[in-house]
Structure 1
Amino acid sequence: MGINQKEPVMPKSNHKGISLKVQLYGLIILLTLLSFAGRLLISVDHTRDYLNEQMASHSQDAATSLGLSISPYMDDQNLVIADTMMAAIFDSGYYQSMKFVDINGVVKLNRENPKSVESVPAWFMHLFELTPPTGSSEVNDGWQIAGTLYVTSHPGVSYLQLWDYSIRAFSGSLAILAASLLFAYLILRMVLKPISTITAQADAVTKKQFIQNETFYWTKEVNVLALAINAMISNVQKTFESMTQHAETLTQDAYLDKLTKLGNRRAFESQFSAFQHDLEGHTDVYSIGLMTLPSLQSMNRDFGYQSGDDYVVQAVSILKSAIHDIEGAKVFRTAGGSFIFMLPCSIELCLEHVQQAYETLHAQNSSRYPEGFGQLVVTGFTHHDSISHLLSRLDTLITAETAQLGSGFNSDTFQSAAFEQGPALGLQDWSALIKDIIASGEIEFSFQPIKAANSINIIYNELFARFNHQGNLIANAQLFAMAERLNLTEELDKKLILALWSHIQNGLDKPIALNISRQSLHSDSFVTWLNDFMQDKQGQLDNLYFEVNETALIDNINSATAHINVFKSHGIKMCIERFGVSFSSFKYLRGLDIDFIKLDGSYIRDLMQNPDNNYFIQAVTQICHGLGIKVIACHVEDIESYKSVTELHCDACQGQFIQAPMKLSHDCLKSECNDFLNTLKYLKDC
C-alpha cells in the first residue's frame, strides 16, 4: 500500500540548501570518478614502468651481443665489417641509436632513428613519458679495450603498446564505471524514494493536509522515520479536530439557533455593528428586512411543536432561496417567529429577490395558517442609522403589513431610505456603466496597514478601491452587487490588478493585499489570465497578497482549493477575511494552503462586552497556530481591544486604532507617513 490520499500539487519550493538526493548522487559520482581515474592512472603507470624495464633489458642484451660480435674487427682495415654487422642488427631490431666510441672518445660507428611515433598522440607521450635506458658494453681488440658500444632501444613500440593498453583499460574501466553508477542509482533510488514520500507527507502537513503513509520499507531506519511521521500527523490531526469541535461548540452555543442553524440575536447585533463599520465614510446603502411567522403559536398549539419546527424551516428555506444570489446576504433568527436579514446593497438592487420571497410566502397562505404563513418587510439603512431605530421602523412596517394581510404586494412594504442612494439605473444601464468603468474608469486607492502584534513591523497593507466614473465616485456596494449579477466582477478584479501593477511600476514596493471576488476565486478563466500575467511579470510581484471572503470560499471548497494552489505557486500569499461570519465548521481549513485568517470584525468590536468572544478567539488562534496559519484581528478601535487581542495571541492587528485608511499617494509609496511612524512607536510602548 502507498499513501492513502492523492498527494497535493506542490507549489514552487522555497526551501534553501542542497537536497540529500543531490548530495548522495554527487558524492557517489565523485568517488566513482576518482576511483576510475586513479585506477586508470595507476594501471597505465605500472605498464609504463614495465615497458621501461623491458627496453633496458633489450638494449643491454643487444649491446652485449653486438659487442662480442664486432670485437675481432676493431682494427681500421676491418672496421667496415663491424659497421656492417651493426647496421644489420640495427635494422633488424627497433633501436633509437647505436654508437661505438673508442678509448679516446671518438665516435667510430653511429646509427640513429627519429624519435617521433605517428600512431601515438603527442599529448599522451608527454603525459606518460618513457625513458628508455641505454645499454653499454666494452669491446676488446685482442687483449686491449678498443672502446665502448652504446645501444638505446627505440620507445616507439613501447609507446604504441602503452597507448593500446591505455585504450583497452579506459574502455574497460568506463564500462565498470557505468555499471557501478547504474547500480548505485538503483540502490539510491530504492533508499531515497521513501524519503521523498515522507518529505511530501511532511510538506502536506504544512498545507493543512493530514496524510497517513501505510507503505512498508525494507530499510529499518526509514520505517522508524515513517512511523514517527505518521504518529506526529495523527496527533496533529486529533488536536486539530478536537480544537475545531471545541470552537464550533462555542460558536453554536453563543451565536447559532439550533433549529435553523442561523445566527441568533447576539450574532445579528454583532454582525450589524460590523456592517455599519464597513459603511463608515461611504454613501453606500444597505438593506435590512424582517420576516415574521404570525401563525407559529397556533401551529405549536394545534399541531404540535414538530409541526411548528417544520413551519419555521420551510419559511427559512423560502427566504434563503430568494436571496441566495446576493453575495454577503445574512439571515438571523432573533426570536421564535422573527427573522432579520441584511443585504449589502440598496433596495432597488435587491427588490426582485425580496419581492420573490414576499410572493412565495403569501402563496403558502391557507386555513392551516389562520394568521397567514408569513409577512416580510424591508428598508434601507446607512451607517447613521442605529439598530434600535431600524428595528422600530421594521416593526412599524410589519404592523402595517399585518393590517393589510391578503391585499397583495404593496409598495409600502419596501421602503427606500430617506437619503441619496446613487443613480436609479436599470439592468442595461448598470451593464453599460460597469463596462465603461472597466474600459476607461479611474481607480482611487487607499490602504490600511496590518501590523504585527508586539512589534512595529508591517506584515502587509490592504488596498481599498473606489471607482471614479466621469468625475463621480460609484458606491462600491451597488457596483459590485450589480457586477456580480451581471457576471462582471472578474473583469473588475482584473482592472484592479492592472491598476496595482501601474503603481508598482511607479515605485510601490510594500506588500499589498487585494480583495478578489467570489466569481474570480472560482473562475477558471480568471486563474488562466492571472497565471499568464504572473508569468509575464515573473519576479516583480513578490509582495502580492489576496484576501477572499469566507462565505465565497466555502461555496465551492474544491474549486477554491485548486485555484488557491495556483495562486500560491506564483508566490501569492492568501488570507481568508470575515473568518467566522458563516458559523460553519472550521474543518475546511484542513485542506487549504493559506497564510492568514482575518477574524470577522464583529468578534473584535464586541470583545469587551461579550466575554464569550474571548474563548472563541483563543480557540481559533490555537487551531490556526497548530496549522501554521497566522491570525489577524481587524476593527481594532481602541487601546483596550488592542491589548486584548494581543493577549489572546493574535499575530497581527488592523483598525482605526492602528491607522485609519490613507490615500495611496507618492509620499507613501516607498516610506511610511510620519504620523503612521509615530503611531507605531506609540504602540511599541503599549
Structure 2
Amino acid sequence: MTLYRQLLVTMLLLFAMLFITAYSVQFSSTRNYLAQQQQTTVINTVTSLGLALTPYLETSDTLGAESVINAVFDGGFYRRVRLDLLAADQQIIREHTSLPRRVPAWFVNLGLFEGAKYDAVLTSGWLQLGHLYVEGHPGQAYYELWQGMSRLATWFLACFLLVWGLLVLALRYLLKPLHDIEKQAREIELHHFGKAIPLPATRELREVVAAINNMAGKLELQFKEQADEAERLRQRAFLDEASGLGNRSYFVSQSQSWLGETGGGTVILISVDMLESLYQEEGFAVRDEMIRAVAGSLRQLCRRFGEHALARLSAYEFAMLVPETDGERLGILGEEINRSIADLVVDPVNGRDLSVVGMAVIQSGDNVSQLLTRADNALNKARMEHTGAVVVEHGRAEDGLGRLAWKQLVDEALAEDSFECSVQAVLDFDGKPYHEELFISIRKDGVVYHAGHFLPVVEQFKQGERLDLHIIGRALALLAERPQLKLAVNLTRQSCHQESFWTALTEMLEQYKEAGRRLALELPESAFASGKDILVSPLASLKVVWGIDHFGRHFDLLTQLGELRPHYVKLDHGYTSQVAEPGFDDAFLAAVCRAAHNMGAVTIATRVETEPQVRLLKTLHVDAYQGFISPPRQLP
C-alpha cells in the first residue's frame, strides 16, 4: 500500500473513531435523559392522578373515577394505568400496547427503554381507598431518540465525507514532492534523466529533493562521460581525422557486415590523384583542406542511399559501399563523383584526370579481400584507360532483373500476400528467448528472393510505407493467433520519415491492443542519422517496444542514445564479427555496451555462429545474441 493510502486510511480511521466515540456518548446521554424524563413524568402523573381520584373514591363514585382516568390516559403516553378499588373490589384498567410509529422495528427491538413504572396507595386519613399503578409507554422515547440520533448520524456522516475530501486534497498537495521523487527514482532506474524536481516548502522533503536532484545530475553526467568515452574509442579505432570519414578498419568491418546480409550492393573506390600534386605544390594544409572538401562532397552524394558506408582508405583513395547494383545507375553515379570532385578545383591543370572511379558489384560468396581486389582492378583499369569510371558487374542470376521487374515482383507479392515468413530467435545467455525477428522473402519460379535483394528497389520507388504496413499487419495477425509469440519487425528508412505511416500504424495497433504489446519495431540506424527529431515524438506516443538495428554504423549517434531511449540496440555485425579472432581489441565494444546499459537499453549481438563467440560476448556486457547458432525457422 502506498504511503498516501496508509496516511489517508489511518487519518480516516482516527476520525471515524472520534465520530463513533462522540456519537456513542451522545446516544447514551440522550437515552438516559429520556428514561429519566419518562420516570419523572410517570411519578408526577401518579401523584396528580391520585389527588384527583381521592374525592371520587371517598364517595364511591366509580364513574367519576373512571372519567378522570380516561382523561389522563388519553392525554399522555402510557402503556398501562390500573386502579384497584379496595372497597368495591373492582379494577379500572386502561392499556396501550401498539408500537411507536415512524421508528424501525429493529430499533425498538433493541430494548433501550423498559418503560417507567410507579404505583401508590390512595388513602383518606387512615383509610386505604385504592391502589393506583401507572406504566409509561416507551414509544415517545424511542421516537425522540431515533429522530435525534438520525439527525446526528447524518451530520456526522456529512462531516466525515467532507473531512475525507479535504484529507485527499491536503495529502495530495503535501505528498506531491514524494510523488515527484518516486517518479524521478523510476526514471533514474531506467537511466532516463528529465528535469529537476522543484524544491518543496517542507524542510525535510526539501533536503531529500535536493539530494535526488544532485544525484540525478551526477549520474547523467557520468553516463554521458561513458558514452563520450565509447565514442572516443570508436573514433580512435575507426575514424580518419583528416577527412572525418571512417578509416580502412571501419570500411572493412562494415563490408563484412554487409556481406553477411542477403542483399547486394557495390564497392566503389575513388582515387583522387590530384591530391598528390596539390600536396607537392601547395603543402599538406591545402591538401588536407581539399580532402575535407572531397569528403563533404562524397557524403552529400551518399545521402540518397538509406544504408551506406563511406571511408578514406589511404592518402588519396576513398571508398563507398552502396546498395546499388544497376549498371547504368552506377555509371551515372561514377560520373557524378568525378564531376563533383572536379567542381572543387578552381583551375584544373593540363586537363589531367583529377579522379578515377572503380566499382565492383558484390557477388555471392564474396569476401572483403576479393571484393576490394576486384574494385582495385577496376580502379587501375579506369586509370589506364582514362575513362573516369568503370563498373565491373558479375551479378548473380537474380541480379539480372531490372528495376521495373523488381518493382513488379514486389507489387505482385503485396497484392497476393505471397510473402514467405520465417523467424529467428534472439536469446539471452541463459537460453531464454527475448523475442523473434521476422524475416520475409518472395518465391517465384523456384527462386527465393530475400528482403535484402528487393529492399533497395522498395526504397527507390518509395514503397517502404506500403510494405511495412503490410508486414506489420501480418505480424499482428500472427501474434493474435499465437499468444506465446513475440515478434520484431524491421522498418524501412522511408517509412520512418512518413507521418502517414505512424498515423496508420497507430490505428492498426488500436485494433490489436493485446497483440501489439508483443510487437517490437526495429528501426535502421540510418533513419536516426538522417532525421532523429522526426522520430522521437511518434515513438514516444506509440508506447511500443522498439530498437535500433545496425547500431554503430554511423558516427556521433552513440552520444544521442540517451535522448532516443530505445528498449534495445542490435550491434552492427562489423563490431562483433571479429570477437573470437586473436588480438581482437574489445575495449570499444565493451564501452558501447556499458553506455547502452547506462541509458536503459538491452544490447544484442547479431550474426553469432559459434559457441566461442557466445562465451566471449557474455564477458563484454552483451545481454543477448542472434545468429545462425539458432537458425531461422519457417512460419506456416
Calculate the TM-score normalised by the size of structure 2. Answer: 0.90
Q: How many angstroms apart in 2 are the aligned matches of 1:516 and 1:251? A: 26
Q: Are the aligned partners of 1:315 and 1:374 in contact in 2 as well (CA < 8 Å)? A: no
Q: 1:505 and 1:625, CA in 2 relative to 1: closer, same or farther beyond 3 A?
A: closer
CA-atom RMSD in angstroms: 3.0
Q: Does 1:330 align with 2:329?
A: no
How far is 1:214 from its partner?
Answer: 5.4
Name the structure 2 match of 1:222: 205
How far is 1:582 from its partner?
Answer: 1.3
Q: 1:102 and 1:271, CA in 2 relative to 1: closer, same or farther beyond 3 A?
A: farther
Q: How many angstroms apart in 2 are the aligned matches of 1:228 and 1:491? A: 51
Q: Are the aligned partners of 1:100 and 1:147 in contact in 2 as well (CA < 8 Å)? A: yes
Name the structure 2 match of 1:675: none
Q: Are the aligned partners of 1:212 and 1:233 in contact in 2 as well (CA < 8 Å)? A: no
SS class of match (1:421): helix
Among residues 367, 384, 403, which one is paired with 2:384 in the alignment?
403
Name the structure 2 match of 1:202: 185
Where do 1:451-530 residues align within 5 Å? 451-453=427-429, 455-468=430-443, 473-507=448-482, 509-530=484-505
Q: Does 1:443 align with 2:419?
A: yes
In structure 2, what residue type is equivalent to 1:278? E
In structure 2, what residue type is equivalent to 1:425? G
Name the structure 2 match of 1:596: 568
Tell me the alpha carbon deviations over residues 350-379 of structure 1, each in whole angstroms, 9 at most, x when there is no partner. Answer: 535555334433455664456433222322
Q: Are the aligned partners of 2:420 and 2:443 in contact in 1 as well (CA < 8 Å)? A: yes
Tell me the alpha carbon deviations over residues 481-520 of structure 1, each in whole angstroms, 9 at most, x when there is no partner. Answer: 2222222212211221222233334436232222222233
Name the structure 1 match of 2:396: 419
Q: How many angstroms apart in 1 are the aligned matches of 2:136 and 2:507? A: 75
Q: 1:27 and 1:519, CA in 2 relative to 1: closer, same or farther beyond 3 A?
A: farther
Name the structure 2 match of 1:549: 524
Q: How many angstroms apart in 1 are the aligned matches of 2:100 and 2:495? A: 78
- Give the stretch that moved more between structures: 438-447 or 117-126: 117-126
Name the structure 2 match of 1:573: 545
Q: Does 1:630 align with 2:602?
A: yes
Q: Are the aligned partners of 1:103 and 1:146 in contact in 2 as well (CA < 8 Å)? A: yes
Q: How many angstroms apart in 1 are the aligned matches of 2:268 and 2:328? A: 14
Among residues 235, 245, 248, which one is paired with 2:231 in the alignment?
248
Q: Does 1:381 align with 2:362?
A: yes
Q: Are the aligned partners of 2:565 and 2:600 in contact in 1 as well (CA < 8 Å)? A: no
In structure 2, what residue type is equivalent to 1:357? I
Among residues 290, 298, 307, which one is paired with 2:269 in the alignment?
290
- Structure 1 spans left out of the alignment, 5+ residues: 1-17, 666-686
SS class of match (2:604): strand
Q: Does 1:65 align with 2:48?
A: yes
Q: Does 1:319 align with 2:298?
A: yes
Q: How many angstroms apart in 2 are the aligned matches of 1:207 and 1:558? A: 21
Q: How many angstroms apart in 2 are the aligned matches of 1:106 and 1:295? A: 151
Q: Does 1:537 align with 2:518?
A: no
Q: How many angstroms apart in 1 are the aligned matches of 2:174 and 2:502? A: 38
How far is 1:101 from its partner?
Answer: 4.1
Q: How many angstroms apart in 2 are the aligned matches of 1:418 and 1:484? A: 20
Q: Does 1:303 align with 2:277?
A: no
- Structure 2 spans left out of the alignment, 5+ residues: none
SS class of match (1:608): coil
How far is 1:254 from its partner?
Answer: 0.7
Q: Are the aligned partners of 1:557 and 1:588 in contact in 2 as well (CA < 8 Å)? A: no
Q: 1:347 and 1:378, CA in 2 relative to 1: closer, same or farther beyond 3 A?
A: farther
How far is 1:380 from its partner?
Answer: 0.7
Name the structure 2 match of 1:394: 375
Name the structure 1 match of 2:159: 176
Q: Are the aligned partners of 1:379 and 1:414 in contact in 2 as well (CA < 8 Å)? A: yes
Q: How many angstroms apart in 2 are the aligned matches of 1:23 and 1:555? A: 51
How far is 1:247 from its partner?
Answer: 0.9
Q: How many angstroms apart in 1 are the aligned matches of 2:346 and 2:591? A: 47
Q: 1:226 and 1:616, CA in 2 relative to 1: closer, same or farther beyond 3 A?
A: same
Q: 1:123 and 1:259, CA in 2 relative to 1: closer, same or farther beyond 3 A?
A: farther
Where do 1:145-160 residues align within 5 Å? 145=128, 147-160=130-143
How far is 1:628 from its partner?
Answer: 3.2
Q: How many angstroms apart in 1 are the aligned matches of 2:606 and 2:89? A: 110
How far is 1:333 from its partner?
Answer: 0.9
Q: How many angstroms apart in 2 are the aligned matches of 1:220 and 1:469? A: 74
How far is 1:65 from its partner?
Answer: 2.7
How far is 1:179 from its partner?
Answer: 4.3
Q: 1:459 and 1:104, CA in 2 relative to 1: closer, same or farther beyond 3 A?
A: farther
SS class of match (1:473): strand
Tell me the alpha carbon deviations over residues 56-85 of structure 1, each in whole angstroms, 9 at most, x when there is no partner. Answer: 221122123323432454479322222122
Tell me the alpha carbon deviations over residues 141-193 of structure 1, each in whole angstroms, 9 at most, x when there is no partner. Answer: 65354553222333444344334423442454345334433432342122121
Q: 1:126 and 1:557, CA in 2 relative to 1: closer, same or farther beyond 3 A?
A: farther
SS class of match (2:305): coil
Q: 1:68 and 1:422, CA in 2 relative to 1: closer, same or farther beyond 3 A?
A: same
| Structure with the larger RCO, 1 or 2 (CA within 8 Å, 6+ apart) | 1
Where do 1:74-153 residues align within 5 Å? 74=57, 77-101=60-84, 108-113=91-96, 115-120=98-103, 122=105, 125=108, 129-140=112-123, 143=126, 145=128, 147-153=130-136
Q: 1:102 and 1:496, CA in 2 relative to 1: closer, same or farther beyond 3 A?
A: farther
Name the structure 2 match of 1:616: 588
SS class of match (1:46): helix
Q: 1:540 and 1:477, CA in 2 relative to 1: closer, same or farther beyond 3 A?
A: closer
SS class of match (2:245): coil
Q: Are the aligned partners of 2:479 and 2:486 in contact in 1 as well (CA < 8 Å)? A: no
Q: 1:597 and 1:101, CA in 2 relative to 1: closer, same or farther beyond 3 A?
A: farther
Q: Are the aligned partners of 1:576 and 1:598 in contact in 2 as well (CA < 8 Å)? A: yes
Name the structure 2 match of 1:44: 27
Q: Are the aligned partners of 1:451 and 1:457 in contact in 2 as well (CA < 8 Å)? A: yes
Among residues 166, 173, 182, which one is paired with 1:190 in the alignment?
173
Q: How many angstroms apart in 2 are the aligned matches of 1:147 and 1:345? A: 130
How far is 1:122 from its partner?
Answer: 4.8
Q: 1:419 and 1:35, CA in 2 relative to 1: closer, same or farther beyond 3 A?
A: same
How far is 1:331 from its partner?
Answer: 0.6
Q: How many angstroms apart in 2 are the aligned matches of 1:104 and 1:216? A: 96
In structure 2, what residue type is equivalent to 1:228? A
Name the structure 2 match of 1:341: 320
Q: Are the aligned partners of 1:349 and 1:478 in contact in 2 as well (CA < 8 Å)? A: no
Q: How many angstroms apart in 2 are the aligned matches of 1:23 and 1:401? A: 81
Calculate the TM-score normalised by the size of structure 1. Answer: 0.84
